[in-house]
Amino acid sequence: MKARLVWLILCGIWGSTWLFIKLGLEDLPPLTFAGIRFVISCAILFPLVWFRRLPVPKGRSDWFLLIGTGILSFSLNYGLVFWAEQYITSGLAALLQATLPAFGLILAHIHVPTERITWVKFAGVVLGVCGVGVVFSNQLALSGRQALAGCVGMVLSAFFAAYSNVLVKTRGKNLDPAVLAAYQMLFGLIPLLLYGIAFEGTRFFRRSAIRSKPCRRAARSMSRSMTYMISGRPAAR
């Protein structure tokens, strides 16, 4: 019973993610928004890692893994998710992101000898994607080139996330999940914030936003960013 309750809570949190991203994009540019989300998450997770005295990776290969999967899973995956949701509905974003298990199935078949593709696994992936499609069937509208680009970006994000997961499964078994998530986020947020500062700074600090009720807009942005941070999914699966 407890396991089922936890599963339902996780489904609710993960299912609401797309809506909170859409809401936050009304106030923040996409990559800056994603970077802020991970800065807040790191500020919470690293003290927990320190408090639990979890071992820090020592080998060079572990650090390379953390950097590589951090860029794949957070910079590229989440960066594309936040960018794409500017042009497509949250329901369509959820459906396209549901292709992640399909990519994971194929990549695991290639890189993990013990995880071969079977008809049962294939059917499970298809059933899952169809289920997401049914749930969000009223939000699957698509129009314009930007929406098409958003769809491509969302599918690519699923591929990068799946590839990161497979790399972690094959090479990161010795890493504690909390340490893995913390350092992946740390390395992943750096490209997001650098891009945001370089190319989205004028959007974030534009004069018109400063003049139009700044306190209210700032409060809305922070509230939505915090809400999404709380609703975030685990870094590695």
CB 155 within 8 A of CB 99: yes
Other C-beta atoms lying within 10 Å of the C-beta of residue 49: 18
Q: What is the pLDDT of residues 83-135, one digit of tens each?
A: 999 998 887 888 888 888 888 888 888 888 788 878 788 788 777 777 666 65
Q: Which residue has the higher pLDDT, 10 or 162?
A: 162
Please give the radius of gyration of the chain, using alpha carbons only, rounded to the nearest integer.
18
For residue 86, CA distances in Å to 21, 154, 176, 218, 227 come to 9, 11, 35, 20, 18
Q: What pLDDT is stored for residue 117 in this prediction?
A: 76
Range of the domain at 118: 24-230
Residue 199 lies in a domain: yes
| Token pair of 100 as six digits | 């992640």
Q: How far apart are the first and last CA of the chain?
A: 22
Could you give the CA distance from residue 183 to residue 189 in angstroms, rounded to a whole number?
Answer: 10
Q: Which amino acid is at 40?
A: I
Residue 18 lies in a domain: no
Q: How many domains does the chain have?
A: 1
Residue 17 lies in a domain: no
Residue 60 lies in a domain: yes
Mean of all residue pLDDT scores within the chain:
80
Q: Mean pLDDT lowest for which of 66-70, 145-149, 191-195?
A: 145-149
Residue 14 lies in a domain: no
Could you give the CA distance from residue 124 to residue 101 in angstroms, rounded to a whole number?
Answer: 9
Chain centre distance of CA 128: 19
Could you give the CA distance from residue 5 to residue 156 in angstroms, rounded to a whole number?
Answer: 32
Q: At which residue do the structure tokens 């298809």 appear?
A: 126
Residue 4 lies in a domain: no
Residue 19 lies in a domain: no
Q: What pLDDT is stored for residue 135 in this prediction?
A: 56
Q: What is the pLDDT of residues 214-233, one digit of tens each?
A: 444 444 544 444 444 444 44
Could you give the CA distance from residue 58 to residue 45 in angstroms, rounded to a whole number?
Answer: 19
Residue 11 lies in a domain: no
pTM beyond 0.75: the answer is yes
Q: What pLDDT is stored for residue 132 in this prediction?
A: 65
